[in-house]
Every structure is written in structure tokens, then in C-alpha cells.
Amino acid sequence: MRGQEEHAGHDHAGNDQGHARFGAETDSRRLAIALGLILAFMIAEIAIGIVANSLALISDAAHMLTDAGALIMSLIVIRLVARPARGNLTFGLKRTEILSAQANGATLLVLGGLIVYEAIHRLISPPSPAGLAILIVALVGIGVNLLATQQLAKANRESLNIRGSYLHLLTDLFAFIATAIAGLIILTTGFDRADPIASLLVAGSMFWAAYRLLKDSGRILLEAAPEGMDVQEIGEAIAAYPHVESVHDLHVWQVSAGFPALSAHVLVRPGDDCHGIRRGLEQMLEERFDIDHTTLQVDHRKAGALLTLPSRPSSDPHHHRH
């Protein structure tokens, strides 16, 4: 007898979809508010940065342009992710949020590199930026970014799509703080190089945010197990479950952020209840490891076959233990 079924304990799917749709609409509204704040201030900052001859202000404005792009992308991705699975897209478009995170991370890297290049040039030959204008604009920018960041702080940051936009705004907030300090230094001491130094700090924050986004989204694209989830521990828990004699072909990955999945081939003694054991394993995996999307193939060990209990579960698809 052979039992091969995918976990189907989703009787509350209708409610879940309703909650997900409501959450997506709420997040979209928060993203739209943040986008309006960012666009309005960015236009003013570009104009003042040019007049004040401040690289720090212009780099802030350039970063805000990427913020706006990230927010627009997030609004689009929220709608794509919400589309139901159909046809060949058996998981829907959930991984568009991963592509969004990759794009956000790459944009931050490129922009940070451009700012570093221009900042070094200005450290060598500093212009004469207007300290008062820089300070005033930066202080207003801190207020605007606090409002925008507050909107996304309330959104679902488990989504890499939302988290990417949130990190954009968070690094921009740091940039305005650094720019305000630079403006104050220029105003009080006349040290013009404070402006490009602040720009280097801004670039550093961009590189850090880019690293986090690319690292987290890269793990999902490489189908690595979710961070903090021990595959060895999961395999041992399955192998130690009553009536289970061996487990192999164990795979744990993420479809998208917050959506872990597992598949495995489990062998039990001849005559045991395959379906009952499978249901028990599904419940154990959900309760203990918070994995509710599982595909378990539960088979009887062939009568008379030599059983060798594995010291550790195998994840090699070509290595079967019997």
C-alpha cells in the first residue's frame, strides 16, 4: 500500500484569503501614503540641493527617487502576489516579491557606488555648500521620512517586498540625520568637507541595506532552508516519530518569505497505517516547526528487506536507505 498526498488542512482557506486580501489592501494604502510624501519632498529637495550646491542633499534626493521606485514596485507586486495560482503557475506569482527585493538591493548598490565616487571627488576639491539650506531641508526631510517610515512599520514586513521598501526609507532617514549634522557643522565651523563625508555615511547605509535584501532574497532563490530552521533537527524529528523506520529525500525550502515548504519520503513497517502516520507527521511539523505546506510520501518497507537505521536523515535525492 502506498500513501502519497499533499497536506490539505486548509479548511479555513476562504477566511485566510479574505484576511490576506484585507491585509494587502491595507498595506497598499500605507505604501501609497508613503509614496505621496516621498515624491512631494523629493521634488523640493532636488531644487534646493542644486541651488545650495550640496551633494548630500542631491544624494538624499537620488535615494528618495529609488525609494519612490521601490514603493511603486511594491504596490505592483502586492497585486501580483495576491493573484491565485492557475495554469503553469502552480504557486501563483508569489516569487515576484523576491524579484522585487533583488531589484531593490541592486539599485541600492549602484546608487551607493555613484555617491561614493562623487563624494571622493568632492573631498579632494570641496565646493562651498550652503549650510543653512542643508540643515533646514534635512530637518524637514527627517520629519517626512519619519511619517513615511511609520506607515511601512505598520505593514507586513515579513514580506521581502514590503521589507525592501521599508529598508529604503530607513536608510533615507539615516541619510537625512547625517545630512542635518553635516549642515550644522558647515554652518558653525565652515568645514565644507562635512557634506561629502555625510554622503559617504549615506552610501554605507545603502550598502548595508542592499546586503540584507540580497542575502535574504538570494536564500529563497537558491531554495535554501529558511534562516533559523535546522534541517537536521527536522529530519531527526521525522525519523523519531512512532512507526517511522527511515526518512530520505528530505527537502526544506521557501516558496516566498514566510511560506516554508517541505517534502520527504518516509518508510514505515509493513502493515502500519500510512495515512494515519502521514497525518500525524503533518501535525507535528506544523506545531513544532511551523511548516504547514508539506508533501509526504509514506510507504511500507518491503517485508523481509534489511533495515539499516540512518544516523542522520538523507537529503540526497539519489540516496535511498531501506
Tens digit of each residue's pLDDT, the chain (322 residues): 444 444 444 444 444 444 455 456 777 888 888 888 888 888 887 888 788 777 767 777 776 777 788 788 888 887 877 777 777 776 777 778 788 888 888 888 888 898 898 889 888 887 777 778 778 888 888 898 888 888 887 776 667 777 777 877 887 788 888 888 888 888 888 888 888 888 888 888 889 888 988 988 888 888 888 888 899 999 999 999 998 988 988 999 988 777 889 999 999 988 888 889 999 999 999 999 999 889 899 998 776 544 444 444 444 443 433 3
User: For position 319, what pLDDT does the model report?
Assistant: 40
d(CA 60, CA 195): 11
Name all contacts of 116-120 with Cβ < 8 Å and 24+ positions apart: 116/199, 116/200, 116/203, 118/55, 118/59, 118/196, 118/199, 119/55, 119/59, 119/196, 119/197, 119/199, 119/200, 119/203, 120/196
Residue with cell 549602484: 110
Residues of the chain with CATH 1.20.1510.10: 2-221
CB 185 within 8 Å of CB 194 = yes
Top-level class of domain 2-221: mainly alpha
HSE-up of residue 55 (Cα within 13 Å, Cβ side): 27
User: For position 318, what pLDDT does the model report?
Assistant: 39
Helix (H, G, I), strand (E, B) or coil at 129: coil
pTM over 0.95, yes/no? no
Residue 260: burial class (beta carbons within 10 Å; 0-12, 13-18, 19+): buried
Helix (H, G, I), strand (E, B) or coil at 116: helix
The hierarchical CATH code for the domain 231-300 is: 3.30.70.1350
Instruction: Output the nine-digit C-alpha cell for 238.
Output: 521525522
User: For position 256, what pLDDT does the model report?
Assistant: 79
Residues of the chain with CATH 3.30.70.1350: 231-300
d(CA 282, CA 265): 13
User: For position 288, what pLDDT does the model report?
Assistant: 92
User: For position 317, what pLDDT does the model report?
Assistant: 40
What one-letter code names the amino acid at 173?
L
Residue with cell 511594491: 74
d(CA 253, CA 262): 7
User: For position 33, what pLDDT does the model report?
Assistant: 87
- Helix boundaries (H) for the chain: 13-52, 55-81, 96-124, 131-153, 160-189, 194-221, 231-239, 274-289
Q: Are strands 259-268 and 294-300 parallel, antiparallel or unpaired?
A: parallel
Backbone dihedral region of 183: left (phi > 0), alpha (psi from -120 to 50 degrees) or beta? alpha
User: For position 303, what pLDDT does the model report?
Assistant: 61
User: For position 285, what pLDDT does the model report?
Assistant: 93
Helix (H, G, I), strand (E, B) or coil at 191: coil
